[in-house]
Amino acid sequence: MPISFIETLSPQATTLHQEAELGILSTPASLPPKFFYDNLGSRLFEAITYLPEYYLTATEEIIFNQFGAEIQAHIGAKPLLIDLGAGNCQKAARFFGLLKPNLYVAIDFSIAYLRTILSHLQSQYPTIPMMGIGMDFSQQLRLPPEVPQTPRTFFYPGSSLGNFLPTEALQLLKQIRQESLGGGLLLGIDLFKSASILEPAYNDPLLVTAAFNLNILRNVNQLLGSNFEVAKFKHHIEINAELMRVELYLEALEATTVQWQGKERYFKKGERIHTENSHKYSLNSIQKLLTAAGFDKMKVWTDPQQYYAVIYAT
C-alpha cells in the first residue's frame, strides 16, 4: 500500500539557519543534536547502536525481548503507533508481530532517510499502513491532521529523552501526554552508572561516535554554506556526575576561523563546541518527571543490573 509522507520542516528552514548560526556565534559555541541527523548522520548513529560498548541498544532489546508479552498486554492490540525519532525504524518493527498496529507513524528529523527506510519496511510488512513525518519535535510536538484523532501509543526508545534538559524533557512529555489523546507512552530511558561504563559507550575505540559527532560540522556547512574543516576538530566527552549526564563536544585542534555569508567565528586552539547532553536518570527521578507531565499510571521493566529502564506510562 502507498506510504504517506508529510514534511513539516520546510516552513522552519529560516529558523534552523538562525539556530545554527546563533549557536556558532554564542560563547561558548553550541549546536543542538538535531543537526546530527542528516542522511549520513542517521546511518552513523545506526552503526553506533551495533557497537558492543554502546550498551543502551542491546540492554533495551533484552528488556523488550524478555517482557514483550507484558508490554503488549499493557498497550493493547492494534494501536496507532507513533515512533518518535524513528531512525531506521527497527526497534518499532520488532513489536509489529506482537502489537499489529493499525497505523505506524514514523517521525524523524530527516525525511529523506525515512523515505528510504519506510519503503523497505513496507515491503516487509505490507499489511501495516505507514506514514512518515519530517518534524523537529524538539521545538514543538503537534501532529498534523492526517494522523487519526484516536488514542495514540507513542514509542520513544533509545533514551533519546536524555538529549533534553530536564525542563525541556518535561515540556516534551507534556506535549506527548496531550497528543496521545488518552493513549500512552512506551519510553526507554538510561539509568546513571559508573564512568567506566559510560566512557567507552560515548568514546568507542573504533571512533564511530567521533565520526557521528564530527559529521555535525558537515551538516552545518550544508545548511549555512560555512567552511568548517572537520580535520581541525576532535571528538571529546565529559561525564558530569553532578548533573547525571554525558556531555559531547568538538574541540579545536588548532586556531581556526570559520566563515559563512559575510559572518565568521574564530576558534582558538582547545575551544569547544557543545553538541549534546545525554542525561541519565534514576528510577525515582524519571517517574517523578512523568508524573509532573500528567502521566498517573506507570509500569516499569529493567534489566538485572538496572542499567536501563523501559516504562509504559498512561
Q: Summarize pLDDT for 200-248 with one digit per residue, the tens.
A: 999 999 999 999 999 999 999 999 999 999 999 999 999 999 999 999 9
Q: Could you give the 3-state DSSP secondary structure of residue 188? A: strand
pLDDT over 80 at 164, yes or no: yes
More confident call, 112 vs 278: 278
48's CB contacts (< 8 A; 6+ apart) are 54, 204, 208, 209, 212
% of the chain residues with pLDDT over 90 = 87
- pLDDT-based confidence at 50, cuts 50/70/90? very high
Contact call for residues 253 and 259 (beta carbons, < 8 A): no
CA 174 remoteness from chain centre: 17
Closest Cα to residue 283, out of 307, 250, 249, 248? Answer: 307
pLDDT over 90 at 307, yes or no: yes
% of the chain residues with pLDDT over 70 = 98
Q: Provide the mean pLDDT of the chain.
A: 94
Closest Cα to residue 235, out of 205, 207, 206? Answer: 207
Residue 129 CA to residue 24 CA, distance in Å, equals 41
Residue 129 CA to residue 53 CA, distance in Å, equals 35
Contact call for residues 4 and 131 (beta carbons, < 8 A): yes
Cell reading at 5: 509522507
Can you give the pLDDT at residue 87? 87
pTM: 0.91
pLDDT over 60 at 40, yes or no: yes
Can you give the pLDDT at residue 7? 84
Question: What domains does the chain contain, in order, with CATH numbers?
Answer: 14-36+194-279 (no CATH), 50-193+280-313 (3.40.50.150)
